[in-house]
Structure 1
Amino acid sequence: MSDLQHGTLEANGINIHYVEQGSGPLVVFCHGFPESWYSWRHQLPVVAEAGYRAVALSMRGYGLTDAPHDIDRYSIHHLVGDVVGAVNGLGESSAVVVGHDWGAPVAWCAALFRPDMFRAVAALSVPFTPPIADGLPDGVSLNDVMRMIAGEDRDYYRLFFQEPGVAEADLEADVHRSLLGFLYSISGDAVANGDLDEGWDGHFPMGETFSEQLIVPESLPPWLTEDDLEFYIDEITRTGFRGGLNWYRNINLIVGALAPWAGATIEQPAFYMGGTTDLIAGNTPDAIAAMEAALPDLRHLELIEGAGHWLQQERPQEVNQALLAFLEGL
């Protein structure tokens, strides 16, 4: 980690922190919730060693990057705009964009919006969802759809995150427990250790809180050290959870925001990996099939047996090997 260089650039109206290593063609890494550039700690040195300029961003709302208070400053256009601005701010005109969790839809949309800049796209844990032309019926929001799917007796984590202040209070009451519990509960280890029969899909009994659903292990999973956990805690303690939660509070706007791209395909070379126990992010056969239809140059599609949501941390060797092969084939 000593070879990593930290920097800050101004782009898209905010200050963006980044970490980089190596030189060569640019590869930009985008993390998800509730994470940090640090989630790419196993990929940066390997990609740099292979002859690339590997740059991991602290995304809007996280770490040393600015965290605007207003919800409407976390739209998908803002998030993609940050990545575009970062590429320009780094003095580059072209990049491969890589995303995980919430960083995956940002990467997919970056490739969709700006094919001139993003020459290839790789995503982990969240498949590409093709935009739909007509959006949802008038008066029906994505939140309404999620509520209908959940039913009257169940809540859903994305719905629980909607009301400002509620999820913040729940998660920030014990940041250590929240982060450890979230990292463990949707990892492959929770299933392998028998704490869950199968991966958690994000639903839970109505009236309970999100943090009540989290499984806190007696010992850390093998892919997470005490130092790793403390780094995440420090990052979240610096900003609180609001910035990351504001990404979820713009979900209702995504369908309409992407409607102009309905029917469009991502023509650039594409890569996708997920874990077989990861049920929280939509790795269903139908979702994978829809993604395949919208990615005519999908060069790598793999679901790693037994892996959970935190793919690049749980299975870094498999991810690195596949990602390097993808990059080398461009």
Structure 2
Amino acid sequence: MVERIDGASTRGGALFAIEHHDVQVNGVNLHYAAAGDPDAPLVVLLHGFPECWYSWRHQLPALAAAGYRAVAPDQRGFARSERPEAVEAYALPHLVGDVVMLARELGAERFAVVGHDWGAPVAWQTALFRPDLVRGVVGMSVTPPLPRQGATPPLAVMDALFQGRFYWNYFNRPGVADAEFAADPERTFRAFLYGASGDNPRNDPQPPQPLLPADGSFLGALDDTGQLPSWATAADIAVFAEEYAKNGFTGGLNLYRNIDRNWELSAAWDRLPLLVPGLYVYGDRDLVGSFPGMEGVIDALPQLYPTLKPHLVLPGCGHWTQQERPAEVNEALLDFLADLPA
């Protein structure tokens, strides 16, 4: 199936359509959106939560116009892709396996990978595990893996710091956030997209900790004004809500339910060097920057990962990097990709 999106990039008068396909990888049926020549260099775009392929609507045609094959899968459990039932099926090694097998099914010997939010850890780990396959990696919002600190799992750390009110802990309560978000998907997406955006005045100069209020809900604390950010429309909200009609929010929440499992597994790759070129992009109003322990982390990244290029900070940008600042993100991606070894 081929869909066209208004405003898609053109080159030589040709409109670069966004195609939709399904493929079986790693035992899971994945849906992916794609644009560009199937024989062109592959760029895999990995979304976060609560998102899907549509988060890359501005990048798919722009990359295609520049001569790349851009592919944005719905990660397992999201949107149109298959949703495994087991929570442990959403651990990072499985998600990395999906990316590797997807690239193989697409016939790519090597590829670049770009990730935002939860897609960023998957992108970083794909590059760390498979430098033989990955030409370069871009992470947005979430930094590369940091050296392990202490012997306490992350959820217990956050539970102790914030008396169970940190959103990770809330998302780990079986069925609770799932039901809250599914009750009114359009409200859910409005609250997420405006609440964590640079347009929200409470995020200037830095967002508060994402904590639950006394009533125990999440969306009201994030934003309950019903506003839309300047970079999204009611039609965009409707698309996100429709994309989530099949699977709901449980698949995405299962990524959070593997935080401690990923921490346990990460001992195997602690301090693993990044052997390929990398780029870190973030907004100065991103809530991730306010997480405990983040102070000084970004400044330390060049020492931790010498192959990283100078990071790109987008002033006034919140969490939804590639949606909030598509022109700047596209320019940065194209500059980065152009510099990669052939």
From 330, 333, 340, the counterpart of 1:320: 330
Within 1, Cα distance between the matches of 2:70 and 2:111? 10
Is residue 193–residue 228 contact of structure 2 (8 Å, CA) maintained in 1? no
Q: Post-superposition shift, 1:225? A: 1.1
Structure 2 counterpart of 1:55, from 67, 71, 76: 71
Paired position in structure 2 for 1:75: 91
TM-score normalised by length of structure 1:
0.92
Q: CA deviation at 1:238?
A: 1.7
Unmatched 5+ stretches in structure 2: 5-16
SS of the residue 2:287 aligns to: coil
SS in 1 for 2:208: coil
Given candidates 98, 120, 131, the residue that maps to 1:115 is 131
How much is the aligned-residue C-alpha RMSD, in angstroms? 1.8
1:143 is paired with a residue whose SS is helix
| Shift in CA distance, 196/281, structure 1 to aligned 2, threshold 3 Å | closer
The 1:169–1:218 alpha-carbon spacing in structure 2 relative to 1, beyond 3 Å, is closer
Does the 8 Å CA contact 1:121/1:271 hold for their aligned counterparts? yes
C-alpha separation between the residues in 2 aligned to 1:33 and 1:118?
A: 24
**1:45-102 CA distance string (max 9 Å, x none):** 1111111111111111111110111101100011111111110111112110000000
Higher relative contact order (CA 8 A, sep 6+): 1
Q: Partner of 2:153 in structure 1?
A: 141
Partners of 1:149 and 1:279 lie apart in 2 by 17
Q: Secondary structure at the match of 2:200?
A: helix
Do structure 1's residue 181 and structure 2's residue 191 form an aligned pair? yes
Change (3 A) 1:277 1:195: closer
Match 2:24 to one of 10, 20, 45? 10
Q: Distance in 2 between matches of 1:86 and 1:33?
A: 20
- Give yes or no for the alignment of 1:124 onto 2:140: yes
With normalisation by structure 2, the TM-score equals 0.89
8 Å Cα contact 1:126-1:282 kept in structure 2:
no
The answer as to 2:308 corresponding to 1:298 is: yes
Q: Secondary structure at the match of 1:322?
A: helix
**Cα distance in 1, alignment partners of residues 311 and 225 from structure 2:** 31
Q: Among residues 53, 60, 69, which one is paired with 1:37 in the alignment?
A: 53
Aligned pair 1:89/2:105, yes or no? yes
Q: Which position in structure 1 is the counterpart of 2:36?
A: 22
Render the CA deviation track for 1:239-281: whole Å, top value 9, x for unaligned.
1110000000000011221212222211210011100111235
Structure 1: stretches of 5+ with no match in the other structure: none
What is the percentage of aligned positions where both structures have the same residue? 42
Counterparts of 1:290 and 1:257 in 2: how far apart (Å)?
24
